[in-house]
Amino acid sequence: MTAPPDDCLARNEWICGEYLSSRRQILLDAVVQHLQLTAVSVLVGLVIALPLAVLARRWGWAAGPVLAVTTILYTIPSLAMFSLLLPVYGLSAALVVAGLVLYSLTLLVRNILAGLRAVPEETRQAARGMGYGPVRLLLTVELPLALPAAMAGLRIATVSAVSLVTVGAIVGFGGLGNLIYAGMNTYFKAQVLTASVLCVVIAVAADLLLLGVQWLITPWTRAQRG
Partner 1 sequence: MNTLTGAWDWLTDPANWAGADGIWHRLVQHLVLTVVCLVISCLIALPVALVLGHLGKGGALAVNISNVGRAVPTFAVLVLLLLTPLGKWGEGPTVVALVLFAVPPLLTNAYVGMREVDRSVVRAARGMGMTGRQMLFRVELPLSLPLVMNGVRIAAVQLVATATIAALAGGGGLGRIITAGFNLASTPQVVAGAVLVAVFALIVEGVFEAAERLAPYWARGPR
Min dist. Cβ of residue 47 to partner 1 (A): 23
Residue 163 in contact with residue 154, Cβ under 8 Å? no
Interacting residues with partner 1 between 57 and 76 (CB under 8 A): 72, 75-76
Query: What is the SS3 assignment for 187?
Result: coil
Q: Is the dihedral of CA 62, 118, 42, 174 positive or negative?
A: negative
Under the binding rule (CB under 8 A), the answer on residue 39 touching partner 1 is no
Compute the distance between CA of residue 48 and CA of residue 105 in angstroms, rounded to an integer. 7
Our CB check for partner 1 shows the closer of 12 and 22 to be: 12
Under the binding rule (CB under 8 A), the answer on residue 84 touching partner 1 is yes
Q: Which stretch binds partner 1 (CB under 8 A): 49-57, 120-128, 159-167, 212-220?
A: 159-167
Under the binding rule (CB under 8 A), the answer on residue 208 touching partner 1 is no
Compute the distance between CA of residue 167 and CA of residue 107 in angstroms, rounded to an integer. 19
Q: Which stretch binds partner 1 (CB under 8 A): 121-129, 138-146, 175-183, 212-220?
A: 175-183
Residue 154 in contact with residue 108, Cβ under 8 Å? yes
Under the binding rule (CB under 8 A), the answer on residue 207 touching partner 1 is yes
- What letter represents residue 165's amino acid? V
Min dist. Cβ of residue 70 to partner 1 (A): 13
Torsion angles phi and psi, residue 50, rounded to 5: -60, -55
Q: Which stretch binds partner 1 (CB under 8 A): 17-25, 44-52, 58-66, 176-184?
A: 176-184
Compute the distance between CA of residue 77 and CA of residue 181 in angstroms, rounded to an integer. 18
Compute the distance between CA of residue 102 and CA of residue 105 in angstroms, rounded to an integer. 5
Binding site for partner 1 (CB under 8 A): 72, 75-81, 83-84, 86-87, 156, 159-160, 162-167, 169-171, 177, 180-181, 183-184, 187, 189, 192-193, 195-196, 199-200, 203-204, 207
